[in-house]
Chain A
C-alpha cells in the first residue's frame, strides 16, 4: 500500500501550551482600556470585537496572548474568542507592516483599474497578496468594495481613502510611505500607523489635533448632484470619439497587463494580445463606431 508519510505541519501529541500572559504593566494598561469598552454595552460580550481591535493596537495583530486576554476579561473560553477573531477579515493573524495598503479589486474598481494597480504594486513591492515588504513597512492586500465606488479605483491605506488612483500614483504612494514622507489621503486624516488606527477602531477617538477636520467636507464626487441642482454646473466634458488606432501613448500610464488575472489568482492561459489565443488578437470592441 502507499503509506503517506505524516505531513510535518501536522503536530500530534501534546496540545499547544496556553499563551503567555501580557507583562504586568501592559496587562494593567489594557485592562483599564478594556473596562472602558465593556462599560459601553449592556452585555459584556458585546465588547469582544472592539477588544480584539484593542489587542491588535498593542501588537499589530491578534496574538494568542491577546485572545487569552479577551477571554479572561469577558469570561469566555479562548476557543470562543478564537472563533470570533478568525471570522472577521480585519483581524490580522500574523505580524504585518505599519501600513496596510489595500487595493479594491471588487468588480467595479477592478474594471476601472484596480486589477492593474494591484498587479503593478505586487511587482513594484516584490510581495504578493497579504505579504509584507522586507522593511516591515507595507502589507499589501486586495480588499473588497469599500463604499467609495464613485471614486474608483480606490486604494485604502490603514483604512483612509485614496481616491481615483492610477498605477503611477499608487506606486508613488507606497514609495512615500516606505521613505517616511508625510502622506495625506484624499479623504481622511494624515496617516498614523496600523496600531494607532486599531485603537480608533476600538472606540477611542483620534486625539490628534486636526484629525477630525482633515481633508474637509464631502469629496468632489459626493457634491456633484448638489452642484447640478444648484445650477453650479460642472465643466462640460467634451465628447471625443475614440481613436481609430487605439495605440497606447508612450507617455500615458503604463499599460495594464493584457490578461486580467483575478486577485484570487484565477488561472488564465489566454490573453487577447497572445498570438496563440484561438480568438485571435482583439481588433475591436465597438470603439470604431465612435460615439
Chain B
C-alpha cells in the first residue's frame, strides 16, 4: 500500500463529517443570525413545501435512526402517531442527557440550539402537533440559558407561534428543566416526570405513540435525532445515505473521553472505528495503552483493545457483543482498576434506580455491597459467581432498561477481567494506585522531558 493511500485512509478530513458541529467555531454560534448564515431554517422551508405524510416518508427513507441509544428509526416513530384521531399530539425532546460518559447533546445545545428548534418545527409539522416540549436535565444551566434565548428568538422570527412561516401550523415550544434523576432519560419515566410526577417508567404497551403525554399520541425523540432532521431536508436523503452503511446511514457525534490525548466531540459517518478516531487525535495519553472502553456509555457492555476495529454503527457494535448506545467512547488506560470503575458505575445505578421494580431496586443494592467488599479486599471467590447471578436476575427481568444497563458492566468486566477481580480477592486489596490514573499524574514527567 502506498503512503498516499495510507494517508488518505486516516486523514481526518476524509474520515470526519461535521454537520451539526460544522460552525460551532463561528462567533456567537448559538444565535439565530449565525444559524441563518449557515442555511439555518432552510430545511424547514423545504419541509413545509411537502405534505406531512410525504415528509414522514422522506425521513423514513433517509434511514435516520434514534441517536439516544436504542437506534429506532425516527421516521417510523413519527409514522406510528395515529392521524385524524381528534386528540392533541405532542413532541417531547429527550434532552435529559445523563448516561455516564455521554456528552454530545449538551455541547450541541450550548453551541447550536437552533438546529434542535428547527428540527422540532419540522417534526411537529409532520406529526400534526401544536405543542412540543424540550425536557432538559436541570443540572446544565448554561444550556438552559441558551435554549431560553433561542426559543425567544425563534418566536420573534415567526418559526414558532401562530401560523409558522404562513404554513398554517401553530406551534408552541416549552422548555422544561428536570430536577436531577437519571431515570427520566427513559422515555416513559420522562413523560411521567413531565406530567409532574415521580419519574418512574410505565408499562408498555400502550406505547407513547398511542398513549404518551396526557395519554395522547406522543413522539419522544433524542436531541441529536431531531437536530439531524434539518440537514437531511436541506441536503437531501441521498446525501444522508451516502454516509455510513445501508442499515446505519448518516453522520453522528462521537464523544471521546478519558485517558486519551484528544478528548472531545468528533462528528463522523456511522461506522468509523475507535482506532481511526484515536489515530487522528493523538491516541491514548502519552506512554499509556488502552485497557477498556465503552462504545456508548456505561450501560453498554465494555470493550477492550481487541475491539479497536469494530465499526461503530448499530450493527457493528451489536455483532461484537455490545450496543452503539450514545457513542460515548470512554477510554481507560492500564492504570485504571476495572473493579473500581465497575463499582462506581454500580453505585450510580443503585442510586438512580427509581425503586419501582424489585429486581433493579434490590439487585443493584446487593451488587454494590459485594463490589465494595471485593474492592476493599474483603471479597470471596464465590462472590464473583454471585455477582454474575444477581446481574442475571436484573438483566431482562426489570421494568425498564436501567436494570439491563446496570448488569452490562458486571457481565462484560467479568468476561474480560475476571482475573483482576480475583487479584483483589487473593491479594486482599486493590493492586492499583489511583494517583496514576489522574489527569495530572504524568505532568511532572512532561515537565522533565
Binding site for B on A (CB under 8 A): 40-43, 45-50, 52-53, 74, 83-84, 87-91, 105-108, 110-113, 115-116, 143-153, 156, 158-161, 164, 166, 185, 187-189, 197, 200-203, 205-206, 211-213, 215-231, 233-234, 236-243, 246, 248-249, 251-253, 255-260, 262, 264, 266-274, 277-279, 282, 285-287, 290-291
Contacts and interface: CB of A to CB of B under 8 A. Distances in A.
Nearest to A113: B438
A253 B443 contact: yes
A111 B332 contact: yes
Interface residues on B, range: 35 or more
Interface stretch (B10-18, B242-250, B303-311): B10-18
B24 A159 contact: no
A239 B446 CA distance: 9
Contacts of B148: 200, 203, 205-206, 212
Contacts of B140: 146-147, 159
Interface in B325-340: 328, 330, 332, 334-336, 340
B29 to A, nearest CB: 4
A212 B30 CA distance: 9
B152 A205 contact: yes
11 contacts: A113-B440, A145-B101, A149-B103, A150-B265, A211-B145, A228-B12, A257-B434, A258-B434, A260-B340, A260-B434, A286-B334
Contacts of B97: 147
A116 B435 contact: yes
Given A270-B429, A279-B427, A252 B443 contact: yes
A236 to B, nearest CB: 7
B161 interface: no
Interface of B: 12-13, 16-18, 21-22, 24-30, 88, 97-103, 105-107, 110-111, 131, 137-142, 144-146, 148-149, 152, 174-182, 193-199, 214, 254-259, 261-268, 280-283, 286-289, 298, 328, 330, 332, 334-336, 340-341, 343-345, 347-348, 351-352, 354, 368, 372, 375-378, 423, 427-440, 442-449
B88 to A, nearest CB: 7
Nearest to A214: B142
Contact of A150 (B144, B264, B352, B436): B264
B433 A273 contact: yes
Contact of A159 (B141, B199, B255, B428): B141
A240 B449 contact: yes
A50 B87 CA distance: 26
Contacts of B328: 149
A243 B448 contact: yes
B287 A290 contact: yes
B282 A237 contact: yes
B182 A189 contact: no
A277 to B, nearest CB: 5
A149 to B, nearest CB: 4
B198 to A, nearest CB: 4
B262 to A, nearest CB: 5
Given A160-B141, A226-B24, A228-B16, A262 B343 contact: yes
B434 A116 contact: yes
Nearest to A268: B376
A112 B180 contact: no
A49 B137 CA distance: 12
B23 to A, nearest CB: 9
B263 A269 contact: no
Contact of B433 (A48, A185, A215, A258): A258
B402 to A, nearest CB: 13
